[in-house]
Chain A
Amino acid sequence: MLEIKHVSKKYGRREALTDVSFSLPRGQIVGLFGENGAGKTTLMKSILGLTKFQGEITLDGKPITGANIARLSFATSEHSFFPALNAKEHREFYRAHFPDFIDNRFHALMAFFALPEDRPIGRCSTGQKNQFETVLALSQGADYILMDEPFAGNDVFNREDFYKVLLGLLTERETVLLSTHLLEEVQGFVGRALLLHEGRLIGDVDLSEAEERGEDLMSIVRKAYGYRADRVKEALDALGGDDQDA
């Protein structure tokens, strides 16, 4: 169980995260949603120890240290691979540092994405880079896979295929925390939605339960963020009084 307890983070005077608390058990696929600057990336970096924060983050009750950090993996749109190394060399590096590296999953995903084995990753296309980034995160052997907008730059067919492969790959013991703004797309894919707004957690929704109440992700999000459907009409009204078709 990954527990985030009262986590806050300030950049100067700006509060990037304010008192965020939630738990991630094993085996969940969780969507992390929020506008730009809501704190999604800061939250993930805090979990991974890539940035300092106030509050506590524990994995099965223990703080995250060298002893257990291999249980967390990371895929980011900023890319965290080594551009000068090719896929084979990455595999060697990962196998050397992450004892639970899943070799056959690595090969299966490389084949699925048809990624070249011998080309330095830095010289691949953006789409291929995104794909390789996720291949590494999924093959590390982690229990909690954190993905920060991993599909920036991939086309929709690519992404849909990827969700399906992911669902086929993941075991019941693996948890994915996926931050994305592609709400409609991942609606069916995630089982739980964490809603971040200006650094605060404003929603933690079990989508199965919501379904029972007749709510879907989009309606929940609209409500939570106070989205007003009439603002388009308001804007048009304000722009000009001509109500007629010419």
Chain B
Amino acid sequence: MISFDEFVPVAGVPIYLQILRYIQRGAAAGRIQNGDELPSRRVLSAVLGVNPNTVQKAYRLLEDKGLISSHTGAKSCMVLSDETVQAIRQELLEGEVRALVTAMRQTGASKTDALAMMEKLWDECGV
């Protein structure tokens, strides 16, 4: 069963989106595999301390994205293929880079300087 022990809510972002991100990151990192079970809506809402509607929204979003399959009466499980995981990695990467680029542009840096900085720090941060 997928664990939400590492889930840390942050202010300012709707919880249901944070749940989505948590699942996506887990899938991208390989911690969450195809077929892994998700906790039931009620259990997850209790574990996180959030309204069941919020969890419902998150699960529905995951279902819409084709990442989970739900059957009434049974727990939902992950539906992940190599392509899906790649797509997720791309989506996450794009999200991170978009935020980073916006921040960098706000500092007034040029594209060349920004790329040079990234080259320099890529290995440094490679833990």
Number of A interface residues at 8 Å Cβ cutoff, please give it.
Answer: 15
Check: B90 CB closer than 8 A to any chain A CB.
Answer: no
A residues in contact with B53, CB < 8 Å: 191, 207-208
Dominant secondary structure at the B interface: helix
B101 CB, nearest partner CB in chain A, Å: 23
Contact partner of B15 (CB less than 8 A), chosen from A164, A168, A188, is A188
Check: B109 CB closer than 8 A to any chain A CB.
Answer: no
A residues in contact with B16, CB < 8 Å: 211
Number of B interface residues at 8 Å Cβ cutoff, please give it.
Answer: 17
B70 CB, nearest partner CB in chain A, Å: 16
Check: B14 CB closer than 8 A to any chain A CB.
Answer: yes
Tell me whether A190 and B51 are in contact in the complex, defined as CB-CB below 8 angstroms, given that A208-B57, A211-B14 are known contacts: yes
Asked if B54 and A208 make an inter-chain contact with CB atoms under 8 angstroms apart, the answer reads yes
B residues in contact with A100, CB < 8 Å: none
Check: B108 CB closer than 8 A to any chain A CB.
Answer: no
Tell me whether A188 and B49 are in contact in the complex, defined as CB-CB below 8 angstroms, given that A168-B42, A168-B43 are known contacts: yes
Check: B47 CB closer than 8 A to any chain A CB.
Answer: yes
B72-102 interface (Cβ within 8 A of A):
none
A residues in contact with B69, CB < 8 Å: none
Asked if A164 and B46 make an inter-chain contact with CB atoms under 8 angstroms apart, the answer reads yes
B residues in contact with A182, CB < 8 Å: none
Check: A167 CB closer than 8 A to any chain B CB.
Answer: yes
B residues in contact with A167, CB < 8 Å: 42, 45-46, 49-52
Q: Which of A167, A172, A211 counts the most B-chain CB atoms under 10 A from its CB? A: A167
Docked complex Cα distance between A200 and B3 (Å): 44
B residues in contact with A29, CB < 8 Å: 51-52
Docked complex Cα distance between A84 and B16 (Å): 46
Check: A81 CB closer than 8 A to any chain B CB.
Answer: no
Question: Quick one: closest B residue to A206, CB to CB?
Answer: B53
A residues in contact with B45, CB < 8 Å: 167-168
B residues in contact with A188, CB < 8 Å: 9, 15, 48-51, 54
A45 CB, nearest partner CB in chain B, Å: 26
Docked complex Cα distance between A191 and B45 (Å): 12
Check: A189 CB closer than 8 A to any chain B CB.
Answer: yes
Question: Quick one: closest B residue to A212, CB to CB?
Answer: B14
Check: A163 CB closer than 8 A to any chain B CB.
Answer: yes
Check: A165 CB closer than 8 A to any chain B CB.
Answer: yes
Check: A160 CB closer than 8 A to any chain B CB.
Answer: yes
A-B interface, 6 closest residue pairs, ranked by CB to CB distance from nearest:
A168-B46, A167-B46, A188-B50, A191-B51, A191-B53, A164-B49
Excluding A167-B50, A208-B53, 19 further A-B contacts by CB distance (< 8 Å) are A29-B51, A164-B47, A167-B42, A167-B46, A167-B49, A167-B52, A168-B42, A168-B43, A168-B45, A168-B46, A188-B9, A188-B15, A188-B51, A189-B49, A190-B51, A191-B52, A191-B54, A208-B54, A211-B14
Q: Which residues of A contact B (CB under 8 A)?
A: 29, 160, 163-165, 167-168, 172, 188-191, 207-208, 211
